[in-house]
Chains A and B, each alone.
Chain A
Amino acid sequence: ETPSKPKGVSGSGRRNFIVTGLQDIDKCRQQLHDITVPLEVFEYIDQGRNPQLYTKECLERALAKNEQVKGKIDTMKKFKSLLIQELSKVFPEDMAKYRSIRGEDHPPS
């Protein structure tokens, strides 16, 4: 809340208004104990930039990394299936044994 400035008040009134305003801000400190702020946001504020840009960039980076890791997982899965396929052509009995072992422990994903 931003209280309106007192108009037509004498100098002493204005100064004590500032003091009471600072007292109110000091009281707000207790409400902020649970809030944690990443230090990187301060870099944005110190440069005069909107801190929402930090949130935006965090989300964009998270999405980009998510896509990157998903790509790796999908590629590895494809590689695994191709490898089993080709190995089964060359070593059919061994691969049948391998599949039976893997099948007991872990169902095919």
Chain B
Amino acid sequence: MENFTALFGAQADPPPPPAALGFGSGKPPPPPPPPAGGGPSTAPPPTATSAPTGAEKSTAGGGPFYLMRELPGSTELTGSTNLITHYNLEQAYNKFCGKKVKEKLSNFLPDLPGMIDLPGSHDNSSLRSLIEKPPILGGSFNPITGTMLSGFRLHTGPLPEQCRLMHIQPPKKKNKHKHKQSRTQDPVPPETPSDSDHKKKKKKKEEDPERKRKKKEKKKKKNRHSPDHPGMGSSQASSSSSLR
């Protein structure tokens, strides 16, 4: 029984009044139950007014109030302060949230060529693919030498056999109704703009003088047969007269 008092501290004072127990004025507390062993009367269980110390305040049962703990350290910066003002972001906020920000990427990068407003997944130009599959680096950028440049030059003559079939499209599986429509369209597939322009220009240059000659010959023929032409008419008359 002596240990019983030691657990809860020495009780030299008389039992505290009921108000101090936190039950308010009014009814007195019920009498404490007799000790089990029937030993000498011991002090009643200690109340909340047993002398609290700074060290005992943090423990659950030792302080003046049950579960009373020390408050957490107060910090200056909490969610109650305006963090945008605190971090001097007012100008940025007014710039981005005050005005209307344009939706398209081309508005942000107007000088960048190409169709940048299209999703990157369409033409395999996404940045995500660059992160997931980074390209193999290591080589340096060197200027193209003369021998390498020869590969870029166009030479006159027929196409090599490897490249001849590139113009021909594979047969399209279309209905007969659509077949008539497809005839009116150009069957040649679109080539790279630089190559096709060069070849077309070359062809045009070659064909133009021939066309001109043909046109001239046609005109001459027409003019020979037309009655308005003076020279030819007289010669015809003379020839016709000679035949008579």
In whole angstroms, what is the CA distance A53 to B104 when docked?
10
Given A42-B128, A50-B105, A91-B22, decide whether A66 and B144 contact each other with a Cβ distance below 8 A. no
A69–B65 Cα distance when bound, in Å, is 29
A 30-46 binary contact with B (CB < 8 Å = 1; else 0): 00000000010011011
Q: Is the CB of B83 within 8 A of A62?
A: yes
Could you tell me the distance between the alpha carbons of A105 and B68 in the complex, rounded to whole angstroms?
A: 13
- Bound: A72/B79 CA distance, A: 9
**Per-residue interface assignment for chain B, residues 110 to 141, with 1 indicating a CB less than 8 Å from any chain A CB and 0 otherwise:** 01000011111100001110010000000011
B74 within 8 A of A: yes
Q: Could you say which interface size class chain A belongs to?
A: 35 or more
Contact (Cβ within 8 A) B78 A73: yes
Q: Which residues of A contact B121 (CB under 8 A)?
A: 46
Q: Chain B interface (Cβ within 8 Å of chain A)?
A: 19-20, 22, 24, 48, 52, 57, 64-65, 68, 70-71, 74, 78-84, 89, 92-93, 96-97, 101-105, 107-108, 111, 116-121, 126-128, 131, 140-144, 149, 152-153
Would you mind naming 19 contact pairs between A and B with Cβ atoms under 8 Å apart?
Answer: A2-B111, A12-B152, A16-B143, A22-B141, A39-B131, A43-B128, A45-B105, A48-B118, A48-B120, A50-B104, A55-B92, A56-B101, A59-B96, A62-B83, A66-B79, A68-B79, A73-B79, A94-B22, A97-B64
Known interface pairs A20-B143, A60-B97; A93-B79 also in contact (CB < 8 Å): no
C-alpha spacing A56/B24, complex, angstroms: 57
Please report the C-alpha to C-alpha distance between residue A78 and residue B99 in the assembled complex, in whole angstroms: 37
CB-CB under 8 A from A2, the residues of chain B are: 111
Q: Which 7 A-B pairs have the closest CB atoms?
A: A69-B79, A56-B96, A46-B120, A48-B117, A42-B127, A46-B126, A73-B80
Identify the interface centre among A46, A47, A65, A97: most chain B CB within 10 Å of its CB.
Answer: A46
Instruction: Give the shortest distance, in Å, between B80 (CB) and chain A (any CB).
Output: 4
- Give the docked Cα–Cα distance between A20 and B142 (Å): 8
CB contact list, A40-98 vs B, under 8 A: 42-43, 45-53, 55-56, 59-60, 62-63, 65-66, 68-70, 72-74, 90-91, 93-94, 97-98
Contact A48 B96 (CB under 8 A): no
Q: A11 at interface (Cβ–Cβ under 8 A)?
A: yes
A46 with B128, Cβ < 8 A, contacts A52-B101, A59-B93 known? yes
Q: Are A46 and B107 in contact (CB under 8 A)?
A: no
